């Protein structure tokens, strides 16, 4: 609003100086001009600081809300969503919403205020000149919206293609061993070159749009001043408006040029923001399929007694049950092993204990209470899990071992690594425990990854230890050494050990054999061998495989 006074002050100055020129007048007019500039600058500063600052705070809160909501979603949610799509919503869409809340609102308000006041003052000076001078401005605004949509679409295509290039680059860097092992370097280079060529083509198309857009904008923006110069000059000559009014009118017209350009930009910004907001709300309005039930409590002081009662579980969309009528009791402090062929339901049973998938009510119990009646964070804090597929973060070895453990000491990390038989390997790393493992632990071998995950679970000192086929990537000697160390850890807590190797589970207090989702045998290693059933057959087959491998 303050800036709108500048052309009117200029009118007074020009008309006043035509009458007489004195030092007092010049000083007064100079002070007015400087004062308007200073006050206008202060108000612009606070407007930008407040509106842009608020938009950043809203973005901060919204980004935290989206991330926290994604963290609460179960695994099934991510099976139905693409990671790249979720990343796009958490970055590009978030930025589009922020642009509406900050620059969009600021420029929108600025456009409305300037348009209303400036046009009003221009009409006051000369209605006829105003009508003629404003004719090109709606065309200017329309052109911005017209080209803006196409430029936006071009940007989206470029960004989408860039995401494809990034994904291919990331995959090839992560899977460089496989690429080299299959001698696919030249093939991958050719594919990358094709993607790069298409990226250049899409950018060239966008550049052509800009090449036409900016000259067109300059032409349309220049029509108004040309009309004002011709018609306004004639009105001055005819004494229908003063020279000062002509100067003020030209100033207000110049002020309207950017708002008319910004109007199309703001409209496009609001369209993009509305679309992005819908994409974000579609995430936020998707309730987690697994969440705390009313009245859920934290299992403080849990002893670790696990009971499965007639459990039958079918994954959503599946036509066949993953587990059928499974009943099992594991007293606190006992070590139980689950064995069986691939797809027998071993990992499913562990995921139900953790409520990564929700079990049917009244089927899975911890210390005599249905696990569904515990809070999710409280329940899961009682478990130390070594999953079948090891995931490591792009952090140091020590950081990965200490993940989820607050204030973990260096000695505690080393102690857990010794239990996992990892300490010797780490001592040979360039920076020891501070060595970065790379994305997903790419710098470590499969066995080292698994042992890092074991150390992570041991350091947690859980009530219940779940080891899901966690020794499949280590040799027999290392496996025996790790199991010897783990025996001391498992003595003081409930442990469930899943493995395909009989050598891994033979010392468990009880072995449960699953087949096609059902418990077919239970007992100790010796008792199950004596039964000469499924377990004995599995044992003989592995002995034969070991003999063939040795020979």
Three-state SS annotation for 311-346 = EEECCCCCCCCCEEEEEEEECCCCEEEEECCCCCCH
3-state DSSP assignment of residue 495: strand
pTM score, whole prediction: 0.67
- The C-alpha atoms of residue 450 and residue 255 are separated, in whole angstroms, by 66
* Three-state DSSP string of 115-127: HHHHHHHHHHHCH
| pLDDT given for residue 365 in this prediction | 92
Look up residue 163 and give its DSSP letter: H
Tokens 């402090």 -> residue: 333
Q: Residue 222 in contact with residue 74, Cβ under 8 Å?
A: no
Domain ranges of the chain: 2-284, 306-382+462-550, 391-459
Lowest mean pLDDT among 210-219, 394-403, 518-527: 210-219
- The C-alpha atoms of residue 289 and residue 95 are separated, in whole angstroms, by 28
Highest mean pLDDT among 208-222, 372-386, 441-455 belongs to 372-386
Say if residue 297's pLDDT is above 80: yes
Cα dihedral sign for 144, 149, 154, 156?
positive
| pLDDT given for residue 509 in this prediction | 87
Q: Residue 393 in contact with residue 400, Cβ under 8 Å?
A: yes
Task: Convert 481-512 to b/e letters by CB count within 10 Å (16 or more is b).
Answer: ebbeebeebbeebbbbbbbbbbbbbbbbebbb
The better pLDDT of the pair 348, 489 is held by 348
- The C-alpha atoms of residue 192 and residue 229 are separated, in whole angstroms, by 56
Taking residues 39-54, what's their average pLDDT?
75
pLDDT digits (tens, 9 = 90+) for 474-513: 767 777 777 777 787 787 788 888 887 777 788 888 999 8
Say if residue 531's pLDDT is above 70: yes
- The C-alpha atoms of residue 367 and residue 307 are separated, in whole angstroms, by 8
- Asked if 2-284 and 391-459 have one fold, the answer is no
- The C-alpha atoms of residue 454 and residue 537 are separated, in whole angstroms, by 29
pLDDT digits (tens, 9 = 90+) for 235-288: 878 778 777 777 777 777 777 777 766 666 676 677 677 777 777 787 787 777
| pLDDT given for residue 6 in this prediction | 67
Tokens 């020129």 -> residue: 21
Q: Residue 194 in contact with residue 165, Cβ under 8 Å?
A: no
- The C-alpha atoms of residue 84 and residue 163 are separated, in whole angstroms, by 8
| pLDDT given for residue 363 in this prediction | 92
Q: At what angle do helices 105-125 and 243-284 cross, to 10 degrees?
A: 160
Lowest mean pLDDT among 295-299, 436-440, 459-463: 436-440
Cα first-last separation, the chain: 91
| pLDDT given for residue 261 in this prediction | 66
Q: What percent of the chain has pLDDT over 70?
A: 87
CATH number of 306-382+462-550: 3.40.50.300
Q: Residue 196 in contact with residue 158, Cβ under 8 Å?
A: no
Cα dihedral sign for 146, 147, 149, 154?
positive
Say if residue 109's pLDDT is above 80: no
Among residues 532, 538, 477, 551, the alpha carbon closest in space to that of 502 is found at 538
Predicted confidence band of residue 79 (pLDDT cuts 50, 70, 90): low
What average pLDDT is seen over the chain?
A: 79
Backbone angles phi, psi at 498, to 5 degrees: -105, 130
Look up residue 519 and give its DSSP letter: E
Say if residue 467's pLDDT is above 70: yes
**Architecture, CATH, for domain 2-284:** Up-down Bundle (1.20)
| pLDDT given for residue 1 in this prediction | 54
Say if residue 332's pLDDT is above 80: yes
Taking residues 191-209, what's their average pLDDT?
87
R_g of the chain, CA atoms, integer Å: 36
Fold of 391-459: Rossmann fold (3.40.50)
Say if residue 111's pLDDT is above 80: no
pLDDT digits (tens, 9 = 90+) for 425-444: 888 888 888 888 877 777 77
Say if residue 22's pLDDT is above 70: no
Lowest mean pLDDT among 22-26, 142-146, 163-167, 468-472: 22-26
């Amino acid at each position: 609003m303050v800036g709108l006074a500048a052309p009117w002050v200029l009118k007074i100055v020009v008309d006043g100086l035509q009458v007489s020129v004195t030092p007092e007048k010049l000083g007064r007019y100079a002070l007015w001009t400087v004062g308007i500039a200073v006050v206008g600058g202060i108000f612009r500063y606070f407007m930008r600081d407040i509106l842009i600052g608020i938009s950043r705070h809203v973005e901060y809160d919204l980004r935290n809300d989206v991330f926290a909501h994604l963290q609460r979603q179960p695994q099934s949610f991510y099976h139905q969503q693409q990671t790249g799509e979720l990343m796009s919503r958490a970055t590009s869409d978030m930025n589009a919403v922020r642009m509406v809340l900050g620059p969009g609102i600021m420029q929108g308000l600025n456009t409305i205020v300037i348009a209303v006041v400036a046009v009003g003052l221009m009409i006051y000076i000369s209605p006829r000149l105003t009508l003629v001078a404003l004719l090109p401005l709606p065309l200017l605004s329309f052109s911005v919206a017209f080209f803006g949509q196409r430029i936006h679409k071009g940007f989206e295509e470029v960004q989408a293609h860039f995401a494809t290039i990034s994904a291919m680059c990331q995959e090839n860097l992560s899977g460089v061993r496989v690429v080299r092992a299959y001698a696919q370097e030249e093939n991958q280079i050719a594919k990358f070159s094709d993607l790069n060529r298409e990226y250049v083509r899409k950018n060239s198309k966008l550049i052509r749009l800009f090449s036409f857009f900016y000259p067109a904008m300059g032409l349309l923006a220049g029509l108004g001043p040309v009309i004002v110069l011709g018609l306004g000059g004639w009105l001055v000559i005819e004494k229908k408006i003063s020279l000062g009014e002509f100067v003020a009118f030209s100033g207000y017209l110049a002020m309207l040029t950017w708002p008319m350009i910004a109007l199309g930009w703001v409209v496009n910004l609001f369209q993009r923001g509305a679309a992005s907001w819908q994409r974000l709300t579609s995430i936020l309005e998707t309730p987690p399929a697994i969440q705390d039930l009313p009245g859920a409590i934290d299992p403080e002081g849990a002893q670790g007694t696990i009971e499965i009662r007639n459990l039958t579980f079918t994954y959503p969309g599946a036509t066949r049950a993953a587990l059928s009528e499974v009943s099992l009791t594991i007293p606190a402090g006992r070590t139980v092993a689950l064995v069986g062929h691939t797809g027998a339901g071993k990992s499913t049973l562990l995921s139900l204990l953790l409520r990564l998938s929700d079990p049917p009510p009244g089927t899975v119990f911890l210390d005599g209470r249905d696990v569904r009646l515990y809070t999710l964070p409280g329940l899961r804090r009682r478990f130390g899990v070594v999953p079948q597929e090891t995931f490591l973060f792009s952090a140091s070895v020590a950081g990965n071992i200490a993940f989820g453990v607050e204030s973990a000491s260096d000695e505690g990390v080393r102690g857990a690594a010794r239990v996992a038989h990892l300490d010797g390997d780490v001592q040979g790393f360039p920076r020891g425990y501070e060595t970065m493992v790379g994305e997903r632990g790419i710098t470590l071998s499969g066995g080292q990854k698994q042992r890092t995950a074991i150390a992570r679970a041991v350091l947690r000192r859980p009530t219940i230890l779940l080891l899901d086929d966690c020794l499949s990537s280590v040799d027999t000697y290392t496996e025996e050494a790790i199991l010897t160390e783990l025996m001391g850890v498992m003595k003081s807590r409930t442990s469930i050990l899943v493995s395909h190797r009989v050598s891994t589970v033979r010392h468990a207090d009880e072995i449960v054999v699953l087949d096609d989702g059902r418990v077919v045998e239970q007992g100790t290693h010796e008792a199950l061998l004596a039964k000469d059933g499924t377990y004995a057959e599995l044992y003989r087959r592995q002995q034969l495989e070991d003999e063939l491998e040795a020979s």
